[in-house]
Copies of this chain bind each other. A is one copy, B any other.
């Protein structure tokens, strides 16, 4: 089941560089692991911003909450969620 999630990161500029690097590294590892599992199906940067557009493929709402709520950057994010489903005009078989 697919969800579009848009995340905007608002790291306080006064955060020590080391601490920021630490969280970002944890976020990267977390995101790459979920991508390899197929849970985080797409991850794109929104050009000109510290934001991304993501597509998650999860079992249910609970798994979405589990994944998003545990993002290392979650406490610093604005997140919006849209549930997706197959569009009647979609052509590809493997995209919903």
Contact = CB atoms under 8 A, between A and B. Distances in A.
Interface in A68-96: 68-69, 74-76, 79, 81-92, 95-96
Interface in A1-37: 1-5, 11-13, 27-28, 31-32, 35-36
B69 A48 contact: yes
B50 A90 contact: no
A42 B42 CA distance: 11
A88 B1 CA distance: 23
A42 B95 CA distance: 7
Contacts of A61: 1-3, 47, 83-85
Interface in A52-78: 52-53, 55, 60-62, 64-65, 68-69, 74-76
